[in-house]
Amino acid sequence: MSDFEETNLFAQQAANVRKSRWIVAAFVVFFAWLGFGGDAIVWIAAKRGAQVPWQPGFPLLGVAMTVIGIGLVMYVRRSGAQKVLWSAGAAELVDAKTDEEQRFRNVAEEMAIAAGVPMPKLWVVEDPDPNAFATGNDPLNSHVAVTSGLLAVLDRDELQAVVGHEYGHIKNYDTQLMTTLAALVGAVVLMRDGVGRAMRYGGFGGGGRRGRKKGADPIVLILLVVWVISWILAPLVINMLALWVSRKREFLADAMSAQFTRNPMALAKALEKINAAHAPTLSIKGGVAHMCIADPLGRKLTEREGRFADAFATHPSMSVRIARLKAMAFQSAKRAQSQGPSASGVAPTL
Amino acid sequence: MVGFVVLAVVAVAIFLWAIGAYNGLIALKNQTLNAWKQIDVQLKRRHDLIPNLVETVKGAMNFERETLDAVISARNKAITATTSASPQNVKGAAEAEAALSGALGRLLAVVEAYPNLKATANVGQLQEELTSTENKISFARQLYNDTATHYNTKQQQFPTSLVVGWAGAMPAELWEITDQAERAVPKVDLGFGKR
C-alpha cells in the first residue's frame, strides 16, 4: 500500500465521519424548526387575537420535537443497521445450508483477509434479482447482505468482486454515513405519515378551520403554509441528501474492490450481469436504495448523465462504472506484460 | 547564550524526530509480522485439509496413486519448510508451498475427469474448501507482500534509514511465486498415470 493510497483512505474515512456528524446535526436542527416553528405560529396568531388550540408561553412543541429528534438520532445510531436489514427482509447466515451459501461465507472470509477488515456478519435476502448492500456503524460491527439471486447468478470470482466492493464501503466508513441516512429517511417518512393522519382527523385541522371562519390572518396563514410544506418536503430533502452522498462513493468502492481482488474484470462482469437482470429488487424498498451496489429500483435515470440525473439518481451510470473497471483491467494487463509476472499482482491505481 | 538555546532546540527536535521514526518502524515491523502470521494460519489450514481430501478420493481413484502420493509428499515437505520460515527466510517455504499448490492443482484437475466422483457431495464441498483455502493463502500473501514492501521502503528511505539499526529493523523478504508453471492451471492428463 503506497502512502498516497493510505492518506487517500484516511482522508475519505475522516470526511465520512465528519459528514455523518453534520447530517445528524442538520437533522436535529430541522426537527427543532418543525417544533419551534409551530410554537412561533401559535404565538404570533395569539398575539394577533386569533383563537389558538393551546395557550402560548412555554415553547412546548419546540422542546418536544427537539427531544424527539435527538432521541431518534440516538436510536438510529444504536439500531440503524438492524432496522435496515429488517426492512430488506434479510436473514442472517449462521450455518450455511446450501453450497451457494457456503461459497458466500468462504468468499467473505477470503476478502476479509485481503481487505484486512474483521469478518462482518453475513445476511441473505430471498429475492431473485441480484443485488447487495453493506450496513453497520463501524468496521467492527458491520453487515454484508446479498440477495439469493446474486448467489445464483454470479460465479466465484464475480461474487468475490462484489463482496470486495461492499468491504470497500465498510473500510471507508461509507456504511456508517449511509445507514444513518437510511434510518433517518425511514424515521421522517413515518413521522410525516403519522402527522398527516393527525392533521386530517385531529385537533390541528379543527383549529385551522376555526381560525379561518373568523377571517384568518394572512401572515399566520403564510407561516402555516410554509411550516406544513416543510413537513411535506422533509423526506424529499433527506432523500436528496442520501443521493448526493452515495453516488461518488460507488467509484471508490469499485476501485477498492479491484485493489483487494487484483481482478477488476471480475467486478465489471458482475456489474454487467447485475445490470442485465433488469427486474427491480422487490424486497429492497426506496429507503435502502442508496446503499445497494446497483439501484434496486432499476431506474432508467441511473443511465443518464446531466444535472437532473445528478440530483435524483442514487447511483452513477452503470456503463461508466463498467468502462472504468475495464480500463483498470486493461492497464494492469499491459503493465504485467511489460514487467513480467510479479508476486503480488499489479495494484490498480486508486 | 543564544547559541546554546538554538543548539538545545535543534537537539530536542532531532530527538523527537528519532523517536517518531523509531516508533514508525516498530509499528511496521509488527504489521509485517502479523501479516506473516496470517499466511501461516492459512497454510496450516491447507495442510490439515489435505489428509481429508486424500481419504475421500482415494477409493475412487486407484489409477491415480501417483498424483495422490505427489500431494502427500509435497504436503510433508511443505510442513517441514514452513516451520523454519520467517520474514527473513521466505524462499524455502515459498518454494515448498508452490510445489504443493501445483500438486493439488493436478489432483483437482484429475478429480474433474471423474464425473461420478465429482457428483459425490462430499467431494464438491472439499473442492470448494480447497479453492477457498488457496484463495485465502494468496490474499494473505498479497497482504504480507504489500505490508513488507511498505516496511522495506521505509527502512531504505532517508532519513528513516538512520534509525534502522537502533530499531532493529531488517528487510523482509517478499513471498514470491517462484515457479510460474506451478501456478498455471494444469492440463488434464487422460493417459492415466503416464506423467
Kindly report the backbone phi and psi dihedral angles of residue A92, in degrees, each rounded to the nearest multiple of 5, phi listed first: -70, 140
* Residue of A166, A272, A303, A305 marked catalytic: A166
The residue of chain A nearest to residue B132, with distances taken between CA atoms, is A106
The CA distance from B1 to the nearest CA of chain A, in Å, is 42
d(CA A135, CA A292): 10
A166 is catalytic: yes
Could you read off the pLDDT of B117-140 as tens digits, one per residue?
Answer: 766 767 777 888 888 888 899 899
The residue of chain A nearest to residue B147, with distances taken between CA atoms, is A1
- pLDDT value at position A340? 46
d(CA B172, CA B40): 16
Could you read off the pLDDT of A303-349 as tens digits, one per residue?
Answer: 555 555 555 566 777 888 898 888 888 887 777 666 544 434 444 43
Instruction: Write down the residue that cell numbers 401559535 correspond to.
Output: A42
Q: Any idea of the CA torsion for B142, A161, B46, A142, to the nearest 10 degrees? A: 90
Phi-psi region of A317 (alpha: psi -120 to 50; beta: other; left: phi over 0): beta
- Helix (H) / strand (E) element for A171: namely helix A156-171
Q: Do A113 and B143 touch (CB under 8 A)?
A: yes
pTM: 0.74
Q: What was the ipTM of the complex prediction?
A: 0.71
Using CB atoms within 10 A of its CB, is residue B135 exposed (0-12), middle (13-18) or buried (19+)? buried
The CA distance from A138 to the nearest CA of chain B, in Å, is 21
Nearest to A273 by CA among A131, A134, A133, A165: A131
Q: What's the rounded mean pLDDT across residues B105-123? A: 76
Kindly report the backbone phi and psi dihedral angles of residue B15, in degrees, each rounded to the nearest multiple of 5, phi listed first: -60, -45
Q: Do A1 and B139 touch (CB under 8 A)?
A: no
Q: Which residues of chain A have pLDDT under 70?
A: 1-10, 50-57, 189-216, 235, 239, 242, 244-248, 278-279, 285-287, 297-314, 336-350
Nearest to B75 by CA among B50, B45, B106, B112: B50
Q: Do A344 and B146 touch (CB under 8 A)?
A: yes
Q: Do A343 and B149 touch (CB under 8 A)?
A: no
| B121, B188, B190 from B113: Cα distances, Å | 16, 7, 8
pLDDT band at B189 (very low <50, low <70, confident <90, very high): very low
d(CA B102, CA A161): 25
Instruction: Write down the residue that cell numbers 538545545 correspond to.
Output: B8
Nearest to A130 by CA among A307, A325, A318, A326: A318
Three-state DSSP class for residue B190: coil
Neighboring chain A residues of B150 at a CB cutoff of 8 Å: 1-2
